[in-house]
C-alpha cells in the first residue's frame, strides 16, 4: 500500500503532476498510476513539474520512461518543467533531452500544451 | 561536472540502490522488480525482463518485466544444450548475433523475443550454474550500448544473479529446516507414545492400578503447571509421572497384588522398585537423567523418613515431591487390594496432616488451588474430577481446600 501521493492539478484540460522531493520507486509508481488515470479520463496534455524534486534515482528514471511511452501511446503530449540543474544534467547524460520536451517553467509548458490543444481543436 | 564523472556517480548510485534492494526484506518478486527498474533506469532502457531458470522442467520463468504487458509468469523452454551454452557465456549477448552459438535458441523463441523487443540478453551465472537471464530492449535513445554500458549491465546482472542464487539457497535451507522440524515432531510423538506405553505396561502388573501411571502423569503435570513450572522441566515431571513405578516390572506380581499386610521381606522387595527404576532409566541417555532421579526419589518424604535415601526438604527434587503427592492422591482415590478407595474429605485430611512431613507444603497448596478451581468451575480443565466424581459435599470440600490453601501458601 502506497503511503505517499503525488499532487495533481488540471489547468485548461492539461494535467500538471508534482512528483515531490524524491522520485524513487514509491513516488514513481504513484506518478505512473496517476498518469494512467488521467489519460483514461481523457486528458491528453501532461506536465510534470520537477520544481520540488531534488533527486531522481535509477528506478525513478525507469518509471519515467514508462510514463513517456504511455503518454506517447495514448497520442498525448508530455512536457517536463522546472528541472534543477542536476536533474537536467541527468537527462542530458542519459541522452533524453532530445527525446523529451523540457520547458523552463510550468507556465511555459502549460502555454505550449494549451496552444497545441487549440490547434488540434480547430 | 564532467560527463564521465557524472555517469560514474549515476552508476554508483544505481548500484547502491540495487544493493539496498537486494538486501532488503521485501518479497523476492518485489526485489526483482526494483532490481530490473534499477538496471533499466541506469541506462535509460525502456523495456526489459528478468527470468529465473528452473532445472525441472528446464525453462526460464519471467519474474519481472517492464514495458511488456502480460509478460510476467511467461515461460521460455530451454534445451539441455542451450542451458550449457547460456551458462558458458555469462555476459551480455546481442539477440541478433550469430556467433554466440545460441542462434537456435533465438530462432526457436523468436516470437517471444520479438514481443519483448529484446535486443540483448544477459545470462546470469553463479558458480558455473545458470540462475536466470535478463532480457533488454534497446536504449530509449536507440544508441548502441557502449563498453561502459556493457560493464554496468554485467555488474548489475551479477548482483541479481547472486540474489537468485541466495534466494534459492535460502528456500532450500527453509525446506530442510521444515523437514527436520517435522522429523523432530514425529520423533517427539514417538517418544511420548513410548513413555505412555511403558506406563501402561507397568500398570498391567497390578489389576487394581489400571491407568495409575497415566493419571499420576496428568496430576503431576497439572500441579507443576500450577506452580509455574514450564518448558522441558514441566515435560520431565510429566514423564517422571508416567515412569515413576517402572521398577515394579521386576517386583513379583504376588507381592504387588497381595491383599494382606506385607511382611518385612515383601516390603523390602516392593521398596526396591525405586532403585531398580533408577537403574533402568539412568542407563538411557538424555533427556532421561533428571527423570531417572525424580523417579528414584518419589518415595522420599520431606521430613527425612522416606526411602531409599532418607532425603529431606530441598534435598528432594521438586519434580519428585510433585510426583509423590500425585501418586499418593491417586492411591487414596482408587481401590487397592488391601482397602477400598477413601472418601475425598478423608484423602484431603490425610494430605493436610502430612503436609510438611510426607508432602511438601507448597505442593499440597498448589494441588488444593487446582482442585478448588475445578470444583468451583473457574478452571475448564478436568484433571481431578474424573477420579473424584461428583458425589461429595461441594461446600464442605471447598471450605476445607480454602483453609488448607490459607494455611499452607
Task: Please spell the DSSP secondary structure of B322-355, one letter per residue.
Answer: HHHHHHHHHHHTS-BTTBPPPPHHHHHHHHHHHB
For residue A121, name the pLDDT band (cuts at 50, 70, 90). Answer: very low
Give the mean pLDDT of A57-68.
Answer: 93
Give the whole-angstrom CA distance, residue B241 versus residue B322.
Answer: 9
Distances in Å between the Cα of B389 and the Cα atoms of B323, B348, B377, B383, B403 are 22, 15, 14, 11, 22
User: Which residues constitute the domain of residue A23?
Assistant: 7-114
Residues B133 and B247 reside in one and the same domain: no
3-class DSSP assignment, residue A101 = strand
How many independent structural domains does chain A possess?
A: 1
Across the range A32-59, mean pLDDT stands at 94
Q: Is residue A17 part of a domain?
A: yes
Examine the pLDDT at B381 and tell me if it is beyond 90: no
Q: Is residue A121 in a domain?
A: no
Q: What is the pLDDT of residue B286?
A: 59
Q: Tell how far CA B20 is from the center of its chain.
A: 32
Q: Does a structural domain hold residue B356?
A: yes
Output phi, psi for B128, to 5 deg: 80, -5
- Whether B182 is in a domain gets the answer no
| For range B77-100, the mean pLDDT | 81
Give the CATH number of the domain where residue B66 resides.
3.30.450.40
- A58 CB neighbours in chain B (<8 A) are 10, 13-14, 17, 37-42
Q: Is the pLDDT of residue A67 over 90?
A: yes
Give the pLDDT confidence score for residue B307 in this predicted structure: 92
Chain A hits for B139, CB-CB cut-off 8 Å, are: 95
Average pLDDT score over residue span B315-324: 97
* Beta-sheet strands, E only, within A1-122: 7-11, 14-18, 22-23, 45-49, 55-56, 77-81, 101-103
Same domain assignment for residues B155 and B239 = no
- pLDDT for A46 beyond 80: yes
pLDDT of residue B26: 78
CB B223 within 8 A of CB B370: yes
Asked if residue B208 has pLDDT above 50, the reply is yes
- Confidence bin at B91 (pLDDT 50/70/90): confident
Which among B101, B144, B100 is positioned nearest to B119, based on CA atoms? B144
Q: Has residue A120 been placed in a domain? A: no
| Residue A88 binned pLDDT confidence (cut-offs 50, 70, 90) | very high
**Residue B242 is assigned to a structural domain of this protein:** yes
Q: Give the CATH number of the domain where residue A94 resides.
A: 3.30.750.24
Are the C-beta atoms of B304 and B283 separated by less than 8 Å?
no
Provide the edge-to-edge strand list for the sheet that holds A77-81.
Answer: A7-11, A14-18, A45-49, A77-81, A101-103
> Has residue B112 been placed in a domain?
yes
Domain count along chain B:
2
**Contact criterion met (CB below 8 Å) for A113 and A14:** yes
Is residue A73, in this structure, part of any structural domain at all? Answer: yes
pLDDT at A1 over 70: no
pLDDT for B191 equals: 87
**pLDDT tens digits along B27-78:** 899 999 999 999 999 999 999 999 999 998 999 999 999 988 888 888 888 8
Q: Is the pLDDT of residue B379 over 50?
A: yes
B141 contact residues in A (CB cutoff 8 A): 94-96, 98-99
Which chain A residues are within 8 Å of B136, Cβ to Cβ?
none
Chain A residues with CB-CB distance to B41 below 8 A: 57-63, 65
What does the mean pLDDT of chain A come to? Answer: 89
Are residue B234 and residue B306 in the same domain, yes or no? yes
Examine the fold and report which residue of B124, B155, B174 is the final residue of a domain before the chain moves on: B174
Given a cut of 70, whether residue A120 has pLDDT beyond it is no
**Distance between CA B61 and CA B76 in Å, rounded?**
7
Percent of chain B at pLDDT exceeding 70: 98
Q: Which residues contact B284 (CB under 8 A, 6 or more apart)?
A: B292
CA atoms within 13 A on the CB side of B355: 18
In whole angstroms, what is the distance from residue B35 CA to residue A57 CA? 12
Site from A59, A86, A89 to mutate, B interface, most B CB atoms within 10 angstroms: A59
Given a cut of 80, is residue B19 above it in pLDDT? yes
Say whether pLDDT at B164 is over 80.
yes
Residue B159 and residue B56 share a domain: yes
Q: Which pLDDT band, with edges at 50, 70 and 90, does B132 fall under?
A: very high
* Domain boundary, last residue among B159, B174, B189: B174
pLDDT value of residue B404: 96
CATH of the domain at B309: 1.10.3210.10
B66 and chain A: CB distance < 8 Å anywhere?
Answer: yes
Q: Which three cell numbers stand for residue A112?
A: 505550449
Considering only CA atoms, which of B210, B234, B221 is closest in space to residue B384?
B221
Residue A86 lies in a domain: yes
Residue A1 within a domain:
no
User: Is the predicted pLDDT of residue B236 greater than 90, yes or no?
Assistant: yes
**Would you call A93 an interface residue with chain B, using a CB distance cutoff of 8 Å?**
yes
Mean pLDDT, to the nearest integer, of A94-113?
92
For residues B395 and A22, give the distance between their C-alpha atoms in angstroms, rounded to a whole number: 74
Among the partner-chain residues A58, A68, A89, the one whose CB lies closest to the CB of B41 is A58
Of B49-53, B256-260, B343-347, where does mean pLDDT reach its minimum? B256-260
Q: Measure the CA–CA gap between B76 and B59, rounded to whole angstroms.
A: 5
Residues of chain A in contact with residue B40, where contact means CB-CB under 8 angstroms, are: 58, 61-62, 65
Query: Measured between CA atoms, how close is A64 to chain B, in angstroms?
Result: 9
Pair (B294, B333) in one structural domain: yes
Residue B2 has pLDDT above 90, yes or no: no
- Position B209 scores a pLDDT of 73
B201, pLDDT greater than 60: yes
Q: Chain A residue with minimal CA distance to B9?
A: A90
> What are the contacts of B305-312 at 24+ separation with CB within 8 A?
B305/B357, B305/B358, B306/B358, B307/B271, B307/B274, B308/B271, B308/B274, B308/B275
Question: Which single residue is written with the C-alpha cell 528446464?
Answer: B58
B14 touches chain A (CB under 8 A): yes
Q: Whole-model pTM above 0.80?
A: no
A74, HSE (Cβ side, Cα atoms, 13 Å):
21
Which chain A residues are within 8 Å of B42, Cβ to Cβ? 58, 61
Q: Is residue A50 part of a domain?
A: yes
pLDDT at A118 over 60: no
pLDDT at position B402 is 96
Please provide residue A74's backbone torsions phi and psi, each rounded to the nearest 5 degrees. Answer: -90, 10
Q: Using CA atoms, how far apart are residues A11 and A27, in angstroms rounded to an integer?
A: 22
Would A122 be classed as within a structural domain? no
Comparing B94 with B352, which gets the higher pLDDT?
B352
- More confident position, B137 or B206: B137
Check pLDDT > 90 for residue A119: no
Per-residue confidence (pLDDT) for residue A79, from 0 to 100: 96
Nearest of B206, B202, B249 to residue B338 by alpha carbon? B206
Residue B110 confidence (pLDDT) above 60: yes
Range of the domain at B224: 204-408
Which A residues, 28 through 67, put their C-beta within 8 Å of a C-beta on chain B? 57-63, 65-66
Q: Are A48 and A17 in contact (CB under 8 A)?
A: yes
> B278-316, pLDDT tens digit by residue?
998 888 875 667 899 999 999 999 999 999 999 999 999
Q: Which of A63, A93, A98 faces B37 most closely, judged by CB atoms?
A: A63
Per-residue pLDDT band for B100 (boundaries 50, 70, 90) equals low
pLDDT surpasses 70 at B324 = yes
Cβ–Cβ gap B44/A96 under 8 Å: yes
Amino acid at each position: 500500500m502506497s503511503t505517499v501521493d503525488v499532487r495533481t492539478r488540471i489547468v485548461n484540460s492539461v494535467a500538471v503532476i508534482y512528483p515531490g522531493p524524491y522520485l524513487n520507486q514509491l513516488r514513481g509508481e504513484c506518478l505512473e498510476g496517476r498518469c494512467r488515470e488521467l489519460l483514461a479520463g481523457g486528458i491528453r496534455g501532461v506536465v510534470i513539474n520537477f520544481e520540488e524534486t531534488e533527486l531522481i534515482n535509477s528506478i525513478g528514471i525507469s518509471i519515467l520512461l514508462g510514463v513517456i511511452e504511455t503518454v506517447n501511446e495514448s497520442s498525448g503530449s508530455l512536457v517536463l518543467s522546472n528541472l534543477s540543474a542536476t536533474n537536467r544534467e541527468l537527462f542530458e547524460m542519459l541522452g533524453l533531452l532530445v527525446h523529451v520536451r523540457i520547458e523552463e517553467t510550468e507556465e511555459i509548458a502549460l502555454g505550449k500544451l494549451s496552444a497545441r490543444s487549440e490547434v488540434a481543436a480547430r | 561536472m564532467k560527463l564521465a564523472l557524472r555517469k560514474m556517480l549515476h552508476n554508483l548510485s544505481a548500484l547502491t540502490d540495487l544493493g539496498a534492494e537486494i538486501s532488503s526484506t521485501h518479497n523476492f518478486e518485489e526485489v526483482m522488480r526494483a532490481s530490473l527498474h534499477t538496471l533499466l533506469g541506469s541506462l535509460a532502457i525502456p523495456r526489459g525482463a528478468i527470468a529465473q531458470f528452473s532445472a525441472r522442467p528446464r525453462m526460464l520463468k519471467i519474474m519481472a518485466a517492464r514495458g511488456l504487458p502480460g509478460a510476467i509468469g511467461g515461460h521460455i523452454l530451454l534445451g539441455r544444450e542451450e542451458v550449457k551454452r547460456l551458462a558458458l557465456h555469462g555476459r551480455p549477448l546481442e539477440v541478433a548475433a550469430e556467433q554466440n552459438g545460441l542462434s537456435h535458441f533465438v530462432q526457436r523463441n523468436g516470437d517471444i523475443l520479438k514481443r519483448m523487443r529484446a535486443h540483448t540478453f544477459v545470462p546470469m551465472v553463479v558458480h558455473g550454474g545458470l540462475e536466470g537471464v535478463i532480457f533488454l530492449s534497446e536504449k530509449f535513445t536507440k544508441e548502441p550500448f557502449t563498453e561502459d554500458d556493457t560493464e554496468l549491465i554485467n555488474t548489475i546482472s551479477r548482483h541479481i544473479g547472486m540474489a537468485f542464487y541466495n534466494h534459492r539457497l535460502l528456500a532450500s535451507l527453509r525446506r530442510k529446516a521444515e523437514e527436520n522440524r517435522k522429523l523432530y515432531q514425529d520423533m517427539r510423538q514417538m517418544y511420548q507414545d513410548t513413555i505412555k506405553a511403558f506406563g501402561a505396561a507397568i500398570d498391567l502388573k497390578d489389576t487394581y492400578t489400571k491407568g495409575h501411571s497415566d493419571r499420576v502423569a496428568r496430576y503431576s503435570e497439572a500441579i507443576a503447571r500450577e506452580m509455574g513450572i514450564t518448558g522441558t522441566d514441566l515435560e520431565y515431571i510429566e514423564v517422571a509421572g508416567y515412569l515413576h513405578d517402572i521398577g515394579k516390572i521386576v517386583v513379583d506380581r504376588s507381592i504387588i497384588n497381595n491383599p494382606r499386610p506385607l511382611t518385612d521381606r515383601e516390603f523390602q522387595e516392593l521398596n526396591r522398585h525405586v532403585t531398580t527404576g533408577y537403574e533402568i532409566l539412568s542407563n538411557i541417555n538424555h533427556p532421561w537423567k533428571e527423570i531417572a532421579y525424580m523417579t528414584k526419589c518419589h518415595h522420599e518424604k520431606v521430613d527425612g523418613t522416606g526411602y531409599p535415601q532418607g532425603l529431606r526438604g530441598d534435598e528432594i527434587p521438586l519434580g519428585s515431591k510433585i510426583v509423590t503427592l500425585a501418586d499418593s492422591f491417586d492411591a487414596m482415590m482408587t481401590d487397592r487390594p488391601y482397602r477400598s478407595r477413601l472418601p475425598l474429605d478423608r484423602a484431603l485430611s490425610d494430605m493436610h496432616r502430612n503436609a510438611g512431613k510426607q508432602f511438601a507444603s507448597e505442593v499440597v497448596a498448589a494441588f488444593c488451588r487446582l482442585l478448588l478451581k475445578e470444583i468451583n468451575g473457574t478452571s475448564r480443565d478436568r484433571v481431578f474430577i474424573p477420579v473424584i466424581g461428583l458425589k461429595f459435599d461441594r461446600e464442605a470440600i471447598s471450605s476445607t481446600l480454602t483453609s488448607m490453601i490459607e494455611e499452607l501458601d
